Structure formats: structure tokens, C-alpha cells
Chains A and B, each alone.
Chain A
Amino acid sequence: MSDRPLPIVQLKHVRKQFGHHEVLRSVDVNFDQGRITALVGDNGAGKSTLIKIVCGVFSPDGGQVIFDGRPVRWHNPDEARRAGIETVYQDLALIDTLSVSRNFFLAKEPCRDGFPHLLDQRKMDDEALAAIRDLGIDLQDPSRPVGTLSGGQRKSIAIARSLYFKPKLLVLDEPTAALSIKESRIVNEHVQAVKEKGISVIYITHNLYPVFSIADRFVVLERGEVIVDVERTEVTPEMLIEAVVTGRRVAPADVARAQARPAESPDVY
């Protein structure tokens, strides 16, 4: 579509295999700037591998990754982070035994000047708390170990941490997995707040319902191939579920039927 925003990430013929198992087979997809793109697929579809290539955990075996208009080849996640890609992984990448503020600054710790080069704990506490509250999360004590927080609080804090470093792209890997309906709703509100700040979002999930009401575009991955790449107005949740379950592409007739339905999709969880 000609009125699509410029892509923040473009993948061109990206391939990846582990041993003899080909996990990604020539994937071509664009993720739009300033929008929420849901990357959907069943377990084993290749979603996590694709995202780990975008985030610098894996290198592709073939093809090209273009980020913010220039070809990139990350050697590690730190390079991707420095370029402006923050990721909230499914297992959160939070350290249970460390405090909220120390998790917040993990890998980017502020230190005091001079010798010995000690951590600036006060700065970490103040800035972590301010950023967390900025996202509307109620937290009193930033020195609390992350392991003592609820699943929803942990995900919210992981998102707040990602935002603090002013990313261009936020990647969320199954952000509502194992959360209650109420917690999922709160996390999705945070994701919408992220989009309103102009940050591009890739939202990975195998469960369509939590994401359907907030995503602008849907990409369905099936056995390492993109089988659906559509605007939200072009599909219904049922069509996407069918694509995920059967591996069948969305037909033009289905798109026309979806476009005829009311503009506002229901808030489905």
C-alpha cells in the first residue's frame, strides 16, 4: 500500500537454520515506523528466531536486515540496543535477585566519577522510580528485589526500562503470556502509551485476542514463512486464527468481507 509509513525494520530474504532444521525460509517483511505490528504464529513458527535476528541475538544465515534505513549486521544484542532496539523477552530478561532499579539499568549502569568506580545507587533509584511512575505504574520502593513482584508488575517494569533508553523500536515477546486478563489489559495500555510516544512496536504473540484491539498491522508466520501481512482493517480475528491453525493465506474475498464490517473492533481478550 502506498500510504504505508516508512519501515523501521525491513527483512529481505532472511534465512536461518539450526543444524538441518530450517527455522526461517526467505522471510520478506516490513515493520512500520510508529505503529504496532503484531507478529503472530503458532509455537515453532519461527517468531522468536526472527525477532532474535532483529535484536542481535542471532545472525541470519542469509538475507539482509535493514534498520532505520541502513543495512545492519549485529554481532550481539548490545549493538542492537545501542542502535535503538529495546526488547522485552518472554522470560523478561530481568534478574530476580537484583532490585528493580539495578534491573532497570542492567548493562547500562551509571557510576560515580572518580576511584573507586562505584555504582551511583541514588541516581539509579530516582530515575528508575520516575520512569516507572511515568508509565503509570504504582511502585513505592525501587530497592525491592524483582523476584518479589507479580508477573504483571514485572512486565510493566521491563517495558518502562526499555522506554527509559528512548528506543526507536520496542520488541515485545509474548508480553501477556501467563498474565491474568486484568494484567494483560494493563500491559496493553502501556504498549499503546509507547506507540503514542512515536515508538515503533513489534508485538509477538501466539494468542491473537489480547493484541487484536491495539495492533495496526498483522504478520502471520507459519513454518518459517510469512503467510499473512495485512492491515487490521483487512482482517478479523477469526481469519487470522484460521491462518495460524491451517497455515492457509488470507484470500482477497475474505479481505473484502472484513473491510465491510464495522470499523471499530471489539476489545477482545
Chain B
Amino acid sequence: MSEPQPKIDHGLRLPWLGFAADYLGMAAALAALIAVFSLGTEHFFSATTFRTIANQIPSAILIATAMTYVLIIREIDLSVGSVLGWCSAVLGVAVARWQWPVPLALLAAAGAGFLCGLFNGLVTIRWRLPSFIVTLGMLEMARGAAHALTSSQTQYLGSAVEDIAGASIFGLSLPFLLAMAVVIAAQLVLSRTVFGRYMVAIGTNEEAVRLSGIDPRPVKLAVFTLTGFLVAAAAIIDTSRFQSANPNAGTGFELQAVAAAVIGGTSLMGGRGSVVSTFFGVLIIAVLNSGLAAVGARDETKRLVTGAVIVAAVIADHYRHRLARGE
């Protein structure tokens, strides 16, 4: 037997230092991007630019947060963009064509997203199918449903829902503040609750979780359903911001959300990820897009650069983790 050892001294632990170290790299990358664009064009570094970016990204933040959860449990949801279009279509048609009261229409949109997430989760779990295939099916179904409901026509809502995205505090839109609150709550759930730890455990070794006596199915179902709900919230925000419901809304959002999560260090192999880092990932993509637009880059150049940044981020993350493991 070994000698009795002193107990660990919690007073010497500096959790905030660890917290800062985790996100320092992301913050530095973001600051470097801002510095480069600020030097490249004189109009970029302004409160107006940052406020505009902040007010453009709430839906992306919500969807990327949900995608981070899904990736952590070693699944994927390819349907988030189409489900956004479907929820937006439900909201638009309910208000513009059926003349429903706005609260009821909002509830219908939220319910539409919730049901899509529930469907994805139930089918994936019940028949043990790859979520890649199930959500690919939902991607087509939701987009088809959005077009069918709207007869492929954009629904113009005028001022009926503008208050949602229009309200602001200190120049920041209510949706942005709401998205920030979701990020903080989601990170807290991920790192400090039993549910969050089970998500990480399921993504790392689902069989081990089952053998420990935990049923992984309710956790996975909750994550898919929550994703549907957050996508519906994103749809409401975007519909309000544009004051219209376009059946093509959200096209390509799934890949943007995966890109933001991956830039933030979330593993596509499951078991590793952080909502705060994903938030930085969304910011990096948004600043990159705004900055490139400010310096006059063409759309194809923006896509080229964004793609290169994603690959570079994954390579950097690979080395960061090898370093952390002492390899």
C-alpha cells in the first residue's frame, strides 16, 4: 500500500484559468481576423459593423449550438436548413394566408420544428439507423413540405412579426441576446450537468454507457428534439428579420453549422465539443464573410477563403489535441 497522500487542495485550482486557456486560441484567431480586416479597409472597425454582424447571426448561433450537441453524441442532423425553411413556411402561411393570430402561428412554427426533431430522433433510435441517412431524408421532406405549403411562393408578412427581431437593448437585437443566453445555458448543461456528461459519454463510447446502466436513447431523443426546437426558434427569428417566409430559407445552413462547430474544435467522431467554442466558430465565419465583403471580395473568393479556414482550423485542432495528450 502507498503512503497516505494529502487531499487535493481545491483552493489551488484555478478553473477560470483553464476556461480562459480553452478559448484563448479561438479569441486570438478572431482578434487577428478583425485586425487584418480593420487594416485592410478603414470602414470595417466600427460599432456599426459589429452590431450588424451581431444582428445577422442569432439564427446561425442557435443552429450551430444544436449541431454541436448532435455531433457530441456522435450523430449528425443534415435537415436543420430545410426544417428552418419548413418552420418559416408554417409561420408565413399561418399569418399571411390563414390569418392566424401571431402567437398561435409562432406556436405552430415551434411545433413544426419540434416534430421534425422528434421524428429524426425516433426513427434513428427505433431502427438504429445512421442519422446521416434519416436526416438526409428529412432534408428532402421538409424542403418539399415547405414548397408544397407555400406553393413555392415567398409569403410576405409585413409588420406582423417585425417586433421579434426589431426589439433591441443597447443596439443589440433581442434575438442576439437570446442566442447568447442559449449559448451560456447550453454550455452549462454540457459541462456541469448529468445530462451533459451523458452526452459526452454516449459520443465517446455508447456501449460503455449502456453497460454502466444508462439508457442512451432518451438522451439522444432529447438532443434531436431540442435541435428541432432550436431550428424553429431560428426560423422565427429569420422570418421576423426578413418579414417574409421564403420556402428556400436555410439552404446550406447545415454545412455552415457543421463548419462553425468544427472550427470550434467539436469532433465529428463524437464525445468532444464546446458550445462556447462553436459560438466563436460562428463569429469567425461571420467576421470572415463581412470582412471579405468590406474589402470587396467576390462571392467565389469568400467561399474559397471560408473553406480554407475550415480546413486550417481542423488541422490546428488536430495538433492542439496531440499537444494536450503529450504526443
Residue tally, chain B, CB below 8 Å to A: 30
Binds B, one of A61-69, A118-126, A260-268: A118-126
Tell me the minimal C-beta distance from B13 to chain A in angstroms: 8
Residue pair A95, B208 in contact (C-beta under 8 Å): yes
Residue pair A77, B213 in contact (C-beta under 8 Å): yes
Closest-by-CB residue of B relative to A57 is B211
Chain A residues 55-96 with CB under 8 Å of chain B are 56-57, 76-81, 87, 89, 91-96
Distance, CA A121 to CA B18, complexed state (A): 15
Distance, CA A80 to CA B210, complexed state (A): 13
Partner of B188, one of A107, A116, A125: A116
Distance, CA A102 to CA B200, complexed state (A): 11
Number of A-B contacts (CB under 8 A): 95
Partner of B204, one of A97, A141, A142: A97
Distance, CA A14 to CA B8, complexed state (A): 48
Q: Give every chain B residue within 8 A of A78 (Cβ-Cβ).
A: 213-214
Residue pair B201, A106 in contact (C-beta under 8 Å): yes
Chain B residues 1-58 with CB under 8 Å of chain A are 1-2, 4-5, 7-8, 10
Q: Give every chain A residue within 8 A of B2 (Cβ-Cβ).
A: 133, 136-138
Tell me the minimal C-beta distance from A207 to chain B in angstroms: 22
Distance, CA A125 to CA B12, complexed state (A): 14
Whether A216 sits at the interface, judged by CB under 8 Å, is no
Distance, CA A102 to CA B197, complexed state (A): 8
Chain B residues 262-280 with CB under 8 Å of chain A are 271-272
Interface of A is mostly: loop
- B-contact bits for A45-61, CB 8 A (1 contact / 0 none): 00000000000110000
Whether A245 sits at the interface, judged by CB under 8 Å, is no
Residue pair B213, A107 in contact (C-beta under 8 Å): yes
Distance, CA A93 to CA B206, complexed state (A): 9
Q: Give every chain A residue within 8 A of B5 (Cβ-Cβ).
A: 133, 138, 140
* Band of interface residues on A: 35 or more
Residue pair A95, B211 in contact (C-beta under 8 Å): no
Whether B209 sits at the interface, judged by CB under 8 Å, is yes
Q: Give every chain A residue within 8 A of B212 (Cβ-Cβ).
A: 77, 93, 106-107
- B-contact bits for A101-143, CB 8 A (1 contact / 0 none): 0100011010100001111011001100110010011101110
Distance, CA A126 to CA B204, complexed state (A): 25
Residue pair A98, B201 in contact (C-beta under 8 Å): yes
Whether B325 sits at the interface, judged by CB under 8 Å, is yes
Whether B205 sits at the interface, judged by CB under 8 Å, is yes
Q: Which residues of A contact B (CB under 8 A)?
A: 56-57, 76-81, 87, 89, 91-98, 102, 106-107, 109, 111, 116-119, 121-122, 125-126, 129-130, 133, 136-138, 140-142, 147-148
26 pairs of residues in contact across A and B, judged by CB atoms under 8 Å: A77-B212, A77-B213, A78-B213, A79-B213, A81-B213, A89-B211, A93-B208, A93-B211, A95-B201, A96-B205, A97-B204, A98-B204, A106-B197, A106-B209, A107-B212, A116-B192, A117-B194, A118-B192, A119-B193, A121-B192, A129-B7, A130-B7, A133-B5, A136-B2, A140-B8, A148-B326
3 tightest A-B CB contacts, nearest first: A78-B213, A77-B213, A136-B1
Q: Which residues of B contact A (CB under 8 A)?
A: 1-2, 4-5, 7-8, 10, 188, 192-194, 197, 200-201, 203-205, 207-215, 271-272, 325-326
